[in-house]
Amino acid sequence: MKPVLLETSKGLVEFRYEGQGPVILLLKGGHCSRDTDLSHQSLIHEGYKLLTVSRPGYDKTDIKTGKTPEDFADTLIEILDHLAIPSVQVIAVSAAGPSGLALAFYYPERVTSLILEAALVTPWEVRFKRKGKLLFGTAGTLVWKGLRGLLKVHPDFVMKMMLKELTTEDPEKLLKQLSNQDRKFVYEMLATSHSGKGFSTDLDHQPIDLSKLTVPVLGMYAKKDGSVHYSNAILLQSLIPHSEVYEVPADSHLIWIGEHANAVWRKRLDFLQEHTKAAAEKQTVENR
């Protein structure tokens, strides 16, 4: 399905809305474009309708639609209202964590559940913020253009360079251990990535007060993640008693690949199905 552009009160937002069934709102992570798929597209085949909204600065979504997670939460509600969607389950990936949290915090009546996949719930580490501003600020487009060109010629070099930022393990050793399918995943992720104005804006996002979150939350994190530290999972669990943290035995930030990828898929799907059922039962009671 081709992307749709919606004129909101703050500017244009790009989204795709496809499938049949209960609605899942997908907020992709940093550098992810409309073409980047970290396995979530397959949820359509599990009986869900997937609403994928490009975050501010990514694809054709105006940066002014949400320079802060709180502002973007308001924009997301405009989209839900436009599509006549009363409530959604939300998946927030990596740098989209603050946006997913803000939506669940300010509009809990519109969020049935929230899944945080290797997602930030704390401010960015200073070292990542400094490096991110330098590489993906005004020069971001040129950096990604160069990386994609180099990827075609020296894919192993680019993949190893990327893995160095995403794992606490030896990136060269990790690259050699990747299956052909996982190598394809990493290659396509890099080939479809770009920053636009989005990532530099992501770096300034501040997450909300987790202790006041009321919606059901599942967090999936890896201890060997070199990008989103496992302290995010610990903080999530300590401040939200009703949350669930699933420790993914992955070797990097990329919890969607490796021999444990099926377990991540199953955990996500079980959580979605559980809260789809709970929402349906609640609606039945309210209609009586």
Which stretch of 161-175, 200-214, 272-286 has the lowest confidence by average pLDDT?
272-286
| Annotation: CATH topology of 4-123+206-287 | Rossmann fold (3.40.50)
Q: 138, 130, 53: which is closest to 99 by C-alpha?
A: 53
Q: What is the mean pLDDT of residues 253-282?
A: 94
Q: Give dist(CA 159, CA 245) in Å, integer.
A: 29
- In the prediction, which pLDDT does 18 show? 97
Q: Give dist(CA 16, CA 5) in Å, integer.
A: 9
Q: Confidence class of residue 77 from pLDDT cuts 50, 70 and 90?
A: very high
**Tens digits of residue pLDDT in 7-25:** 999 999 999 999 999 999 9
Q: Which two tokens stand for residue 159?
A: 């993949």
Highest averaged pLDDT of the listed ranges 93-107, 132-146, 187-201: 93-107
Which stretch of 205-209, 217-221, 243-247 has the lowest confidence by average pLDDT?
205-209
- In the prediction, which pLDDT does 239 show? 93
Q: Confidence class of residue 157 from pLDDT cuts 50, 70 and 90?
A: very high
Q: Confidence class of residue 282 from pLDDT cuts 50, 70 and 90?
A: confident
Question: Do 70 and 43 contact (CB within 8 A), yes or no?
Answer: no
Q: Give dist(CA 118, CA 111) in Å, integer.
A: 20
Q: What is the mean pLDDT of residues 63-82?
A: 97
Q: Give dist(CA 233, CA 224) in Å, integer.
A: 12
Q: Give dist(CA 188, CA 281) in Å, integer.
A: 40
Q: What is the mean pLDDT of residues 169-190?
A: 96
Q: Give dist(CA 66, CA 170) in Å, integer.
A: 37
- pLDDT, averaged across the chain: 93
- In the prediction, which pLDDT does 110 show? 98
Residue with tokens 């937002």: 13
Q: Cα dist. 176→163, 245, 254 in Å?
A: 12, 29, 15
Q: What is the mean pLDDT of residues 58-85?
A: 97
In the chain, the percentage of residues whose pLDDT exceeds 90 is 78
Which stretch of 173-182, 210-219, 226-235, 279-288 has the lowest confidence by average pLDDT?
279-288
Q: Which two tokens stand for residue 266?
A: 């199953």
- In the prediction, which pLDDT does 242 show? 85
Q: What is the mean pLDDT of residues 57-84?
A: 97
- In the prediction, which pLDDT does 288 show? 67
**Ranges in the chain annotated CATH 3.40.50.1820:** 4-123+206-287
In the chain, the percentage of residues whose pLDDT exceeds 70 is 99
DSSP annotation string for the chain: ---EEEEETTEEEEEEEEESSSEEEEE--TT--TT--SSGGGGGGGT-EEEEEPPTTSTT--GGG-SSHHHHHHHHHHHHHHTT---EEEEEEGGGHHHHHHHHHH-GGGEEEEEEES---SPPPHHHHHHHHHHHSTTHHHHHHHHHHHHHH-HHHHHHHHHHHHBSS-HHHHHHH--HHHHHHHHHHHHT---TTHHHHHTT-----GGG--S-EEEEE-TTBSSS-THHHHHHHHH-TT-EEEE---SSS-TTSSTTHHHHHHHHHHHHHHHHHHHHHHHHHHH-
The pLDDT of residue 139 is above 70:
no
The pLDDT of residue 181 is above 80:
yes
This prediction's pTM: 0.95
